A and B are shown apart, each in its own frame.
Chain A
Amino acid sequence: MTQLETVTYTADEMMAVAAARRLRNGTVCFVGIGLPSRAANLARATHAPDCVLIYESGAIGAKPAHLPLSIGDGELAETADAVVSVPEIFSYWLQGGWIDVGFLGAAQIDAQGNLNSTVIGDYARPKVRLPGAGGAPEIAAWCRETFVMLRQTPRAFVERLDFLTSVGRPRGSGGSGVTCVVTDLGVLEPDRQTGELVFTELHPDASVDEAHEATGWELRVAPDLRLGRPPTAEELQALRALKPANQDTVG
């Protein structure tokens, strides 16, 4: 066993590992920047080498050696199987129903998996103006399933969203909506009947009490709550080998 066994890992690393494990070899993923990109590239570097990464800039089958800073870094285009235009990626590929898993982050989530990435506070006079929808509404509607990655805090896990940017359980679309929410404390999955997000998996080092405290609604915990496995040495090694794209050039 390597010495990594005893090395500690961060909550973000646990999130990336937990999300990566949910991707199967060959899964076609629509990937955003940050945690989702780390997770998808980790899956590709470990158990799912044929996982297909699609970035909204039009890069299909990107195989970056570094973690890109933007969804349009040059390396994505250089390593992609194909680069298509923006109207094409959204109409033919996303709305066309070819994507298995879409990743989303947000500022707020509610118990139905609805997300807010638009504003905190009143729309006309916001406390915080967030970047906005981007691809989120159609990713949530048209990927077969959507994975959310979001650190669990009472400010993020709210009873009522300030703005509904993307729908957790879309009606009449091709997908099932949000099927899992990976947080720094564990994993939430929707109840099959009601769609309410239920705490189904606890990360090692986290506690159910913490999960309750970090959730702005009355969190339901699954009776058969699973205990997640810590990252393996191999996973941590692969994750840490994913270096960010060069940020050292002269500006």
Chain B
Amino acid sequence: MAEIVPLADAVRELVHDGDVVALEGFTHLIPHAAGHELIRQERRELTLVRMTPDVIYDQLIGMGCARKLVFSWGGNPGVGSLHRLRDAVEHDWPAPLELEEHSHAGMAAAYAAGAAKLPFGIVRGYEGTNLAERTRVAWITCPFTGEQVAAVPAIRPDVGIVHAQQADEAGNVQLWGISGIQKEVVLGSSRSIVTVEEIVPRLEPRANAVFLPAWTITAVAVAPGGAHPSYAHGYYDRDNAFYVRWHEISRDRDRFREWMQRHVLEPEAAAV
């Protein structure tokens, strides 16, 4: 049953060094505030899982939190490279980063299998690509039709972290808009943290919204603006200008460190 706790407490209790941690949100509702808390608490040796590592993963990697990255597309959408990710892969800075990469379809199938507690997901893909040699994939034959399909091992993180618009006082969560892979991550993880824009007395049921009952969540934490520079549908827009600026901030190691010091490590300025 979800406990409503301060974000720092949730991270301290539920995320340990060496854990497999997935922070999800497909462009929308990316849990930046929670990622910043991981950085402030200096988590190390994490296996970070995320379909589209973008700015928050660039920050986690650049601050030395990650040992391994499991992903399917790592870039700054519409802008270009993630410089901290590239620096880690190309120059081992600040530490070497092991990669396990998938296609989106493969990774989505792996998350869905994790939520369903199946050992693997099935995707009709990877064939003929070099990715097949670089990822965890095996070819299996359909027992009914004989068709060959790709099996991808289920993703079951130690901790799944997502951001949502609202929770009620009992810790039930509702999110809407582009819902990405958040439901699968929460249901497929051993422990979960959901940050929310606000706690409301009563969740107003919305058709087609994702509803996560309190009994599927370990901890709920209030983090208004906690997705910024990503967005929260109905609350604030995506800060596209920041994504463009990140390209320059992250390009240089010193400038990156300085920015992180000022905006993330110094707690007074934490709400970036």
Instruction: Point out the residues of chain B lying under 8 angstroms from A77, CB to CB.
Output: 28, 177-178, 233
Q: A193-219: contact bitstring with B at CB < 8 Å (1 yes, 0 no)?
A: 000000000000000000000000000
In B101-138, which residues have CB < 8 Å from any A CB?
Answer: 101-105, 108-109, 111-112, 123-131, 134
Confirm or deny: A126 has a beta carbon within 8 angstroms of a beta carbon on chain B: yes
Instruction: Point out the residues of chain A lying under 8 angstroms from B108, CB to CB.
Output: 86-87, 90-91
Confirm or deny: B89 has a beta carbon within 8 angstroms of a beta carbon on chain A: yes
Instruction: Point out the residues of chain B lying under 8 angstroms from A170, CB to CB.
Output: 127-128
Query: B89 touching A86 by the CB < 8 A rule?
Result: no
Confirm or deny: B244 has a beta carbon within 8 angstroms of a beta carbon on chain A: yes
A43 and B201 CA atoms in complex are apart in Å by 47
A138 and B240 CA atoms in complex are apart in Å by 28
Query: A132 touching B73 by the CB < 8 A rule?
Result: yes
Report the minimum CB–CB distance from B42 to chain A (whole Å): 25
Query: B89 touching A129 by the CB < 8 A rule?
Result: yes
Confirm or deny: B215 has a beta carbon within 8 angstroms of a beta carbon on chain A: no
* Chain B binding surface, main DSSP class: loop
Which candidate, B11-19, B77-85, B157-165, is the interface stretch facing chain A? B77-85
Instruction: Point out the residues of chain B lying under 8 angstroms from A90, CB to CB.
Output: 104-105, 108-109
Say which size band chain A's interface belongs to. 35 or more
Which of the residues B77, B125, B178, B184 comes within 8 Å of A83, measured between beta carbons? B178
Instruction: Point out the residues of chain A lying under 8 angstroms from B183, CB to CB.
Output: 85
Residues A87 and B181 in contact in the complex (CB < 8 Å), given A118-B131, A170-B128: yes
Query: B51 touching A137 by the CB < 8 A rule?
Result: no
Query: B127 touching A163 by the CB < 8 A rule?
Result: no
Query: A133 touching B102 by the CB < 8 A rule?
Result: yes
Residues A132 and B239 in contact in the complex (CB < 8 Å), given A87-B109, A164-B130: no
Confirm or deny: A165 has a beta carbon within 8 angstroms of a beta carbon on chain B: yes
Confirm or deny: B190 has a beta carbon within 8 angstroms of a beta carbon on chain A: no
CB nearest neighbor in B for A89? B108
Residues A138 and B79 in contact in the complex (CB < 8 Å), given A59-B178, A85-B179, A129-B86: no
CB nearest neighbor in B for A137? B103
In B225-249, which residues have CB < 8 Å from any A CB?
Answer: 229, 231, 233, 237-245
In A38-59, which residues have CB < 8 Å from any B CB?
Answer: 56-59
Query: A133 touching B180 by the CB < 8 A rule?
Result: no
A147 and B62 CA atoms in complex are apart in Å by 36
Report the minimum CB–CB distance from B181 to chain A (whole Å): 5
Which of the residues A72, A74, A128, A250 comes within 8 Å of B26, measured between beta carbons? A72
Confirm or deny: A69 has a beta carbon within 8 angstroms of a beta carbon on chain B: yes
CB nearest neighbor in B for A126? B90
Query: A167 touching B128 by the CB < 8 A rule?
Result: yes
Query: B129 touching A164 by the CB < 8 A rule?
Result: yes
Query: A86 touching B104 by the CB < 8 A rule?
Result: yes
A52 and B254 CA atoms in complex are apart in Å by 45
Query: B177 touching A171 by the CB < 8 A rule?
Result: no
CB nearest neighbor in A for B125? A138
Interface set of B (CB-CB < 8 Å, partner A): 26-28, 51-52, 71-75, 77-79, 81-82, 85-86, 89-90, 101-105, 108-109, 111-112, 123-131, 134, 177-181, 183-184, 208, 229, 231, 233, 237-245
Known: A86-B51, A135-B105, A138-B123. 12 other contacts (CB 8 A): A57-B26, A58-B26, A59-B178, A70-B238, A77-B28, A77-B233, A86-B26, A118-B101, A133-B101, A133-B103, A167-B128, A251-B239
